[in-house]
Amino acid sequence: MKTFCGRANPTTGALDWVEESEEYDFHQEIARSCYADMLHDHDRNEKYYQGIRAAVARVKARGEKVIILDIGTGTGLLSMMALTAGADFCYAVEVFKPMAKAAQCIVEKNGFSDRIKIINKHSTDVTVGPDGDMQMKANVLITELFDTELIGEGALPSYEHAHQNLVKEGCEAVPHRATVYAQLVESELLWSWAQMQPVEVKGARLVPPPAVGRCAGAHSVCDIQLSQVSPNSFTPLGPLCTMFSVDFSKPVSSALQSHSSQFVAQSGGRAQVVLSWWDLDMDPSGSIVCTMAPSWTYTQPKMAPWRDHWMQSVYFLPVERGVTEGEELSLTVCHDDYSLWYSLQSPSQQTPESQTKALSSRPCCTCQAHLVWTRPRFGELNDRRRTESYVSALRSVLREDSLCLSVSDGSLLPVFAHILGAKKVFGLENSRMSKQVIEQVLEANSIKGVELLEMRPDQLTRNDIGGEQISVLMAEPYFGTSLLPWHSLYFWYCRTALAGLMQPNATILPSSATLHMVAVEFQDLWRIRAPCGTCEGFDVTPMDEMVQQSLDFRESREAEPHPLWEYPCRALTQSKAIMTFDFTQCVPQEPVSSQGSLPFIRGGRCHGIALWMEYHLTHDISVSAGLIGPISEQGDCEWARHRKQGVYFFRQPWECSDDARVAVSYSFTFEPSLGDIKMDFSIKAL
């Protein structure tokens, strides 16, 4: 069945009507899932296998038949491990219908269909009895219900229901136990993702609104590859604390709970951030451990296993507070059935009333800024070097009689332009909430000369800007709807819509943008798109086939957005600007194409192409949303932290030796009517 769905085009701003199959969401969910990453996670798979073998052996030693309940079976891999380890029967529960179908194909292909029953339900809907989904209760519970925050996928309610209804008392569980760890740190880098910092502009100090400083921030966890945050970027204020453990072999509660850990501050500083991760003990003795600890906790960091389906968590305290070396502190973690949050107190302040307050004080944004600005956006606004580039560019183009219009979401550019002396400054905001956030900034700094307008560029009239013409049109450009780097070309469409309101010699800032590319070898990110074939001895090719069908379904040859600072890679070619977009002119009517080739200068395994935009504010000031420094002699890359780059993965990696005379041949076409960039790549001999 085909339907037409209205979707806002992130580049053109137009409402596009897209014909879609009812299966579209399923296909995209599969194509962009982390199943390949999990199947390639040998450490995870091996630890599960060891834990399952040990649990099956313990039940057999009691003279019992081994009946497995596998909740969240995915590909059925853990169920097949259980039968290989000697289990008698397995009930494998998978709520996602296409995945349940794939699991059915996989268990059949591996010869287990007579002893594995795939149940396409949520586990809380599964029934036990003669007419139920399960004929009997299980005595071994295997689960993979975890996310970066451990409980964010509903693990606790699922365990709670399973113990009440689906498994026998005293059952074995794999994993047996989870333990959550946390460390209190001071970090200017990480704290910049949570709070707006003061900004110096032309001798003036721009301060954040008081409501923003008092706000506890967004409630959601900040999950990142903490291994890529250098230990030099933070100062530990206390030891690594064991916050709480959950024994999955016993009844589990999803009720609101709190746990505290007391310690002595090992150094003084500003308590701002909590770094957190967890371990899984696969057996009761804790001898089989799967840890999420970042690589810098290892004596040999390169030995740390890589995974993207489970990362590490960063939590921001509701307010920063000073601590002194030797001070006694109490770190408290609270959790409901889906999320965690932290608070810091002195032990003397801990009372039943304070515990109740901690439980009820889950972070919730009250200032609106944390609803308008994402964490990377906070970091971008707090990036001093980036701010200096925009201020320098504005200073070079502004005059006393300048009438400025800013087109960016939740931007400080109108504030900068006013401080730098523009006669009139207007800012277009896409929503009432973002308008109100910038109004708070204006009020906190007693700025009266900036007028914010909540409307689209094509709605703006000369009356809205006092009957005058725009002399400076400016943008970062930043838009909350942008996913891929070139979606920010929405500014070009805004500039075109505003052409009739601008002076003939109006300044456009940025004046242009260039799309850049480099061929790369990823250290680990390639795993998320790599075929699996066999996994721990089991044939999982039906999963590969389903993913490939999903990739071919619609968005088969498109780039994906990824924050490459979290995913190390080596450049195998030089970087190259392959398309230029001239913002001083209106969007062209006809497609714009670019073809060429980029020679390999290093040997390696080329997994794909990294793509990003650079914005040329003036003839001598540019800002990169991709590479922010030269590529090293070994090919190492440093990427901008606050924007995602585009990654075009090849279906198969290309092997290239150091002395090979080959190049990446590329073809790009920008379709103005669609606001999209089509691309294709191949290898050719030189």
Residues with active-site annotation? 144, 153
Structure-token pair, residue 177:
């136990």
CA distance 478 to 198: 20
Distance CA 87, CA 53 (A): 9
Provide the H-helix boundaries in 93-196. Answer: 97-109, 155-165, 188-191
Phi, psi of 424 (to 5 degrees): -135, 145
Element (H or E) spanning 649, and its range? strand 645-656
Q: Which helix (H) or strand (E) holds 390?
A: helix 384-397
Q: Phi and psi (nearest 5°) for 386?
A: -65, -45
Burial class (CB in 10 A: 0-12, 13-18, 19+), 665: middle
- Lookup: tokens for 55: 């649990």
Using an 8 Å Cβ cutoff, are 237 and 267 in contact? yes
User: Cis ω on the peptide bond leading into residue 157 (within 30° of 0)?
Assistant: no
What is the C-alpha separation between 99 and 103, in angstroms, rounded?
6
Which pairing describes strands 177-186 and 257-264: parallel, antiparallel, or unpaired? unpaired
- 19 in Cβ contact with 4 (< 8 Å): yes
The conformational region for residue 202 under phi > 0 = left, psi -120 to 50 = alpha, else beta, is left
Segments of 81-189 assigned E as strands? 89-93, 116-119, 138-143, 167-174, 177-186
Tell me how far CA of residue 386 lies from CA of 221, 640, 652, in angstroms.
Answer: 26, 11, 37
HSE, side-chain direction, 13 A CA sphere, residue 59: 27
Q: How far apart are CA 659 and CA 316, in angstroms?
A: 49
Report the C-alpha gap between 337 and 317 in whole angstroms: 20
Give the integer Cα–Cα distance in Å for 636 and 523.
11
Contacts of 532 (CB under 8 A, 6+ apart): 36, 39, 40, 540, 541, 543, 544
Q: At 41, give phi and psi (nearest 5°).
A: -85, 85
Tokens of 144: 């993979």
Task: Name the DSSP class of 462.
Answer: G
Q: Is the bond preceding 510 in cis, omega lying within 30 degrees of 0?
A: yes
Q: Which of 75, 154, 162 is nearest to 126 (CA)?
A: 162
CA 65 remoteness from chain centre: 43
User: How far is residue 237's CA from residue 270's CA, in Å, rounded to a whole number?
Assistant: 8
Spatial separation of the C-alpha atoms in residues 590 and 670, rounded to whole Å: 9
Contacts of residue 392, defined as CB under 8 A and 6 or more positions apart, other chains included, come to 621
